[in-house]
């Protein structure tokens, strides 16, 4: 197997820029590896080698023509199948979108392409990003490269597994309630969910529009920062896209600045129960590293986060029930042919096209929005959301970042939680607060528990991804967790 697949995004871009390797050779190395190994993992829904190689050759031609190499020259990026890429189908892991070919490319992907990246393939996901294990994909489950009997997390499980198995150096995911950070943690890679509004949602198929955010996965914080610099920025085509100054978080950073003097809030009360002992031990060990490197720990309260799961599953399902009304067999994908009238065409298309979890969410979301229940559930959940945001505002008056485990446990077995949706939802307990409050969150590997990865999560003030990335970069400068690879895929 080619050694090129061991390189990170920054190293690839550097070597391609210097002409030491061509973008085409790099793309071929990852395509070969994915072709050889993905039957075991199931990370990709769609590989189109000719398209990928075509993009790579264009990068090589531009370099030979003397153009200044862009920041991501020749970096292959795996793209979650919820983001539109012209020339590739978008399925969102759903039967209802079967056969849908988007006529345009998502801004997030376009920005990476403009920076010289190439699309490696579309990755598997829970249907419409609803789930925490990638088992809700209508096509197949994805397996965790650390243990093929276990889930990679979700809903961006394909993206996380592709990076963990070195089938891609970097990937795009989306995070509505943890779907970048949770699979990153369970697969032992880095994942960043930026501040709400930081990355354009144009061309991202909507799940819950007030929570959805595009994020990146890679093996190092440095690579996540590099991709973020290309991705962040205002987009007039997304009404919620923010006018925030661009950043170069690690520019001139030797790794020394990130943790020195950093005030790190830890919500000890929220961690008092429900966290697996091994995960808690790796979290404490990670905090010790931060303190040794000059961080100062402060106790923060976050009293309302214990209601975050309940509020999230009301707000997210309400928005989903509205967003998913458009899949009626008329404009996109699947159509139930032969229905005798329009109402039955709609109904049968949706009945055949949606899986069980999506139907459950649509029913729940319609219920919490309906007359008589709207006040009791939807409005109440919005109030809880405000309280959670205020909790964080108070915490950030005393610290620059909040630290907590990304997930309460490590990767669970396939099938273990599919019969009990509530157990599945509880996997998100530490990730949904950031979405409800719109905050940036970074997950980075902080060790193995019985051979399975655990994640350290850092949450920051709105638009302060830089503090998280610098801290994470400093952490990786003095630890080796992120250099471990799954034994069966090393
Ligand atoms: N697991 C959560 C859910 O099922 C989060 C999903 C996501 O972030 N897309 O809703």
Closest of 125, 358, 309, 321 to residue 208, by C-alpha: 321
Q: What is the pLDDT of residue 233?
A: 95
For residues 51-55, average pLDDT: 98
Distance CA 305, CA 455 (A): 19
Cα 138-206-244 angle, rounded to 5 deg? 135
Q: What is the pLDDT of residue 422?
A: 87
pLDDT in tens, 137-189: 999 999 999 999 999 999 999 999 999 999 999 999 999 999 999 999 999 99
Expressed in angstroms and rounded, the spacing between residue 63 Cα and the centre of ligand 1 is 40
> What is the number of other CB atoms lying within 10 angstroms of the CB of residue 458?
26
Q: What is the pLDDT of residue 249?
A: 79
Average pLDDT, the chain: 96
For ligand 1, say whether the CB of 93 is within 6 Å of any of its atoms: no
Expressed in angstroms and rounded, the spacing between residue 155 Cα and the centre of ligand 1 is 6
Nearest Cα residue to atom 10 of ligand 1: 130
Q: Which stretches does DSSP call E strand in 414-465?
A: 441-449, 452-460
For ligand 1, say whether the CB of 316 is within 6 Å of any of its atoms: yes
Nearest Cα residue to atom 4 of ligand 1: 131
Expressed in angstroms and rounded, the spacing between residue 360 Cα and the centre of ligand 1 is 14
Percent of the chain with pLDDT over 70: 99
pLDDT in tens, 257-302: 799 999 999 999 999 999 999 999 999 999 999 999 999 999 999 9
For ligand 1, say whether the CB of 84 is within 6 Å of any of its atoms: no
For ligand 1, say whether the CB of 265 is within 6 Å of any of its atoms: no
Ligand 1 atom nearest the C-alpha of 208 is 9
pLDDT in tens, 66-88: 999 999 999 999 999 999 999 99
CB 279 within 8 A of CB 407: yes
CB 244 within 8 A of CB 354: no
For ligand 1, say whether the CB of 131 is within 6 Å of any of its atoms: yes
Ligand 1 atom nearest the C-alpha of 178 is 8
Q: What is the pLDDT of residue 188?
A: 98
Expressed in angstroms and rounded, the spacing between residue 174 Cα and the centre of ligand 1 is 9
Expressed in angstroms and rounded, the spacing between residue 428 Cα and the centre of ligand 1 is 7
CB 180 within 8 A of CB 156: yes
For residues 317-338, average pLDDT: 95
Distance between first and last Cα of the chain: 10
For ligand 1, say whether the CB of 129 is within 6 Å of any of its atoms: yes
pLDDT in tens, 192-251: 999 999 999 999 999 999 999 999 999 999 999 999 999 999 999 999 999 987 677 787
Q: How far is CA 101 from the centre of its chain?
A: 23
pLDDT in tens, 90-108: 999 999 999 899 999 999 9
3-state helix, strand, coil in the chain (%, to 5): 45, 15, 45
For ligand 1, say whether the CB of 365 is within 6 Å of any of its atoms: no
Closest of 402, 389, 391 to residue 297, by C-alpha: 402
pLDDT grade for 423, boundaries at 50, 70 and 90: confident
Expressed in angstroms and rounded, the spacing between residue 1 Cα and the centre of ligand 1 is 35
For ligand 1, say whether the CB of 132 is within 6 Å of any of its atoms: yes
Best of 93, 94, 154 to mutate for ligand 1, by most ligand atoms within 8 A of CB? 154
For ligand 1, say whether the CB of 177 is within 6 Å of any of its atoms: yes
Catalytic residues: 80, 155, 179
Tell me the C-alpha to C-alpha distance, in Å, between residue 142 and each of 162, 278, 374, 390: 10, 25, 36, 37
Let me know if 14 is exposed, middle or buried by CB neighbors in 10 A (0-12, 13-18, 19+). middle
Tokens, residue 445: 């590997």
The residue written with tokens 């190293």 in the block is 11
Tell me the C-alpha to C-alpha distance, in Å, between residue 125 and each of 154, 301, 409: 7, 34, 20
Radius of gyration from C-alpha coordinates of the chain: 21
Best of 176, 182, 212, 323 to mutate for ligand 1, by most ligand atoms within 8 A of CB? 176
Q: What is the pLDDT of residue 246?
A: 67
């Amino acid at each position: 197997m080619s050694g090129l697949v061991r390189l990170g995004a920054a190293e690839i871009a550097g070597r391609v820029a210097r002409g030491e390797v061509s973008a085409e050779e790099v793309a071929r190395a990852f395509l070969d590896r994915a072709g050889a190994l993905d039957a075991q993992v199931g990370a990709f829904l769609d590989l189109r080698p000719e398209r990928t190689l075509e993009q790579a050759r264009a990068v090589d031609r531009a370099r030979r023509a003397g153009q200044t190499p862009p920041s991501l020259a020749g970096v292959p990026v795996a793209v979650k199948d919820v983001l539109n890429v012209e020339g590739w189908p978008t399925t969102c892991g759903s039967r209802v979108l079967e056969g849908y070919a988007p006529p345009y490319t998502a801004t997030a992907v376009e920005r990476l392409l403009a920076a010289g990246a190439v699309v490696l393939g579309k990755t598997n996901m829970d249907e419409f990003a609803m789930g925490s294990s990638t088992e809700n994909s209508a096509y197949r489950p994805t397996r965790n490269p650390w243990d093929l009997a276990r889930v990679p997390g979700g809903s961006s499980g394909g993206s996380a597994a592709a990076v963990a198995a070195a089938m891609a150096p970097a990937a795009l995911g989306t995070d509505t309630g943890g779907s970048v950070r949770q699979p990153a943690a369970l697969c032992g890679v880095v994942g960043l969910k930026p501040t709400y509004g930081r990355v354009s949602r144009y061309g991202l198929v909507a799940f819950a529009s007030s929570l959805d955010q595009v994020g990146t996965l890679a093996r190092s914080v440095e690579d996540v920062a590099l991709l973020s610099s290309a991705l962040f920025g205002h987009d007039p085509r997304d009404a919620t896209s923010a006018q925030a100054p661009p950043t170069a978080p690690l520019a001139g950073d030797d790794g020394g600045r990130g943790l020195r003097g950093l005030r790190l809030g830890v919500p000890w009360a929220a961690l008092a129960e429900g966290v697996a002992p091994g995960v808690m031990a790796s979290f404490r060990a990670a905090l010790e590293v931060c303190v040794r490197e000059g961080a100062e720990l402060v106790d923060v309260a976050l009293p309302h986060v214990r209601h975050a799961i309940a509020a999230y599953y009301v707000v997210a399902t309400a928005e989903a029930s509205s967003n998913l009304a458009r899949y009626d067999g008329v404009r996109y994908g699947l159509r139930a042919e032969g229905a005798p009238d329009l109402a039955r065409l709609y109904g049968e298309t949706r009945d055949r096209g949606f899986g069980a979890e999506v139907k459950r969410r649509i029913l729940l979301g319609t219920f919490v929005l309906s007359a008589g229940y709207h006040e009791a559930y939807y409005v109440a959940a919005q109030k809880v959301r405000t309280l959670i945001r205020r909790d964080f505002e108070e915490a950030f008056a005393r610290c620059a970042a909040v630290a907590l485990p990304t997930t309460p446990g490590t990767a669970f077995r396939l099938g273990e939680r599919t019969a009990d949706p509530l157990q599945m939802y509880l996997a998100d307990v530490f990730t949904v607060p950031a979405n409800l409050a719109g905050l940036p969150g970074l997950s980075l590997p902080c060790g193995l528990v019985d051979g399975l990865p655990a994640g350290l999560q850092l949450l920051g003030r709105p638009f302060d991804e830089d503090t998280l990335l610098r801290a994470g970069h400093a952490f990786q400068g003095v630890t080796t967790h992120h250099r471990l690879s799954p034994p069966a895929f090393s």
